[in-house]
Structure formats: structure tokens, C-alpha cells
Amino acid sequence: MDTSFRKTSLISLQVGMLLIAVAILFTYTPDLGNVQTEGILLLASAVFISLFAGIRAGLFSALFILFVFGSLYFWNMFFRPEDQSFLFSEATLFYFGLWLIGLVILSGSIYERVKQLVQNNLVLQEKIKRLVAIDDETGLDNKDRFELELQLEIDRTNRHDESFTVLLYQIDHFTEFRKLYGADESTRFLKFFSERLHQSTRTTDKKFRLSTEEFALILPYASEENMQVILNRFKHMIGDYVIKNGKTVSFTNHIAHYTVTKEASIQSPDDVLGLMRNELKSYAL
């Protein structure tokens, strides 16, 4: 936040400098004779382009303006000396060019600062989204938080030679259930499922919703020897579900798990998810 404040203050300072420079320019504007108004309008256009398209676009427009004014000046001087339209001095053209390029560079630097600040804010918003990532329907952490927590567990396991188990829980045909009974009933079921899930796990177990019908758990210190008991508990966790109209619906599920150890050489969440999803596919077959 302190860095963002400093960058915002720097932008404010540059805007102030630009306004002061514009005020000084209008007070001591180089006299372009009959094309004074056109010169000011072209200068303002270059500054506008630089403010909203960047310093490179502003400099291109400034160089084009200077080329046009210089060409017209020398054409007027050599071929139509009696016409006073462009007969201002070389010093005037030089000072006008300095003001033009200076204002373009200053306004372009404001554009770059604002662009950098916006990009930094987007990065911060993404970080916040990943750290505060709750699924609205279940209150469980979402996929972004799962990948973050899983990576932390993988790193801890590789450092300390410990182990943990990841469990992937898929509710079969939940998408069809949502379409058939509506959003309110599916939200009611998810609340029921979330309560059952909390009742069936330890407080140290981390629970996530990855997609509409896919859930994941990180079970610290859960050994492979105890997994059969845990899997049996999860297979019968939902049981029969009674919807509002009194009808009973039976859900089936598929469960896959993987115990991560240092010897497994797992490096990323994608490695674990890939192994478990392949296991789910083999069950489906």
C-alpha cells in the first residue's frame, strides 16, 4: 500500500507539473503569426495523444507536426516570400518544438505511470482473489485456494520428508440434478452436503470445491494404511437426500486419492490432479 501511495503521489506531482507547464506556455507562447491558433491546437492534440496512447505515439505525432511546420516554413520562405502565413523565425520554430516535445514527454510519462499503477492493482486484486477464495454456495475454499494450499503442502513434504493425502470427490450427475430441480434445491443440497462433509472430516483437514460437482480434500498426516476406512466413510457420506417436495434422491459418487511423499517426486498441483483424474476415468470405465 505504501508503494501504491508513493506512485499515486508521483502521478499527482507529474500532473501538477504538466498543468504548470501548460500555464507557462499560454503565458509565453512562441508567436507563430497567422497560424498561432493552429499551432496551439496541434500541440494540444499531441499532448492528448501522449496522455491516452503513450509517449511513443505522442513523439510520433510531435515529429509529424514539426515536419509539417518546418516544411511549410521553408516552402513559404523560398517560393512565396510575399505570403506572411509561415514567415516566423527559426528561433520561434525551435522554441515551439521544444515546448511540443517537452509537453509530450511529460504527458507520456503520466500515461506510463498510470498504466503501471493499473497493472499493479490488477496483480494485487489477483493475489487477494487467490488468498480470499470462498465458494459462495458451500462456504468451502475454491480451486484457486486449493492449488495454493496444495503447493504449500507439496513443498513442505519435499522439505521435511513427510506425507499427506489428497482426495478427489465427484458427485455423479449433480449438473443434471441442478437442471432438473432448480438452483434453490441445488443450493439446499450443497448446504446439506457441506454439513456432512464437515462432520466426516477432522478440523485439520482442508476442504475445497473445484467445480460444479467436484470437491477436494487435503488430509495432513493421513497414511495410505488408513485410507480404506476414510474412503468407506466418504462413499456413504451423502446417503439418501430428501428434496423439498418429499421425494428421495440417491446420489452416487466416485472418489480418487493420492498420498504424496517425498519419494513420489511430485512438484506441482497439476501432477496430483492429473493422477487422480486418471483414476476417476478408470473407475468410469
- Residue range 209-217: average pLDDT? 91
The predicted structure's pLDDT at residue 188: 92
Residue 12 falls inside a structural domain: yes
**Mean pLDDT (whole number) for 81-90:** 60
Judged against a pLDDT cut of 60, whether residue 86 lies above it is answered with no
- How big, in percent rounded to 5, are the helix, strand and coil portions of the chain? 65, 10, 20
> Would you say 278 and 257 are in contact if contact means Cβ atoms under 8 Å apart?
no
107 and 148 co-located in one domain: no
Asked if 127 and 210 sit in the same domain, the reply is no
Nine-digit cell string for 225: 494404511
Q: Are residues 112 and 190 in the same domain?
A: no
The pLDDT confidence band at residue 207, using thresholds 50, 70 and 90, is very high
Q: Does residue 66 sit within a domain?
A: yes
Are β-strands 253-260 and 164-171 bridged in parallel, bridged antiparallel, or unpaired? antiparallel
Taking residues 238-247, report their average pLDDT.
86
CA distance 237 to 215: 13
| Report for 127-131, 181-185, 264-268: range of highest mean pLDDT | 181-185
Does residue 72 sit within a domain?
yes
Residue span of the structural domain in which 179 resides: 143-284
Over residues 62-90, the mean pLDDT reads 71
**Residue 167 carries which DSSP code?**
E
Q: Give the amino acid at 277.
A: R
Look over the chain and give the mean of its residue pLDDT values, rounded to a whole number.
80
* Per-residue pLDDT at 27: 63
Residue 265 pLDDT: 80
Q: Do 97 and 11 belong together in one domain?
A: yes
**163-198 pLDDT, tens digit each:** 889 999 999 889 999 999 998 999 999 999 998 888
Residues 180 and 107 in one domain: no
Same domain, 216 and 124: no
Residue 285 has pLDDT above 50, yes or no: no
**73, 178: one domain:** no
**Statement to judge: residues 49 and 107 lie in one domain:** yes
| Distance from C-alpha of 86 to C-alpha of 31, rounded to nearest angstrom | 11
Reduced to 3 states (helix: H, G, I; strand: E, B; else coil), residue 255 is strand
pLDDT at 35: 67
Please, are residues 22 and 103 in contact by the beta-carbon 8 Å criterion? Answer: yes
Region 86-103 average pLDDT: 75
pLDDT in tens, 104-127: 888 878 888 888 888 888 887 776
Same domain, 276 and 149: yes
Question: Is the pLDDT confidence value at 246 over 50?
Answer: yes
pLDDT of 84 strictly over 80:
no
222-232: average pLDDT: 77
Joined together, the cell numbers standing for residue 194 give 457441506
Among residues 225, 283, 222, which one has the least CA distance to residue 256? 283
Residue 71 located in a structural domain: yes
Cβ atoms of 32 and 25 within 8 Å: the answer is no
- 156 and 274 both lie in a single domain: yes
pLDDT at residue 1 greater than cutoff 50? no
Specify whether the CB–CB gap between 180 and 230 falls below 8 A.
Answer: no
Q: What pLDDT score was predicted for residue 186?
A: 92
Q: Is the dihedral of CA 136, 139, 143, 145 positive or negative?
A: positive
Question: Count of domains in the chain?
Answer: 2
In a domain, 227, yes or no: yes
> Among the three residues 100, 131, 162, which one is the final residue of a domain in this structure?
131
Least confident of 3-7, 139-143, 165-169, 231-235: 3-7
The model's confidence at residue 2, banded by pLDDT at 50, 70 and 90, is very low
Q: Specify if 201 maps to a domain.
A: yes
Is 212 part of any domain? yes
Last residue of a domain, one of 66, 99, 131: 131
Task: Determine, yes or no, domain membership for 137.
Answer: no
Q: What percent of the chain has pLDDT over 70?
A: 78
Q: Which three cell numbers stand for residue 192?
A: 446439506
Does 90 lie in the same domain as 6? yes
Half-sphere exposure of 146 (CA within 13 A, CB side): 23
* 7/92 same-domain check: yes
Contact (Cβ atoms closer than 8 angstroms) between residue 153 and residue 260:
yes
pLDDT per residue as tens digits for the range 13-57: 666 666 676 666 666 666 666 667 777 788 888 888 888 888 888
Specify the 3-state DSSP secondary structure of 285: coil
CA-closest candidate to residue 166, choices 232, 225, 234, 222: 222
For 82-126, the three-class secondary structure string (H helix, E strand, C coil) is CCCCCCCCHHHHHHHHHHHHHHHHHHHHHHHHHHHHHHHHHHHHH
Q: How many angstroms separate the Cα of 78 from the Cα of each of 30, 55, 74, 91, 227? A: 22, 34, 6, 18, 94
Assign residue 151 the CATH number of its domain: 3.30.70.270
Cβ 8 vs Cβ 117: under 8 Å: yes
Domain end position, chosen among 78, 97, 131: 131
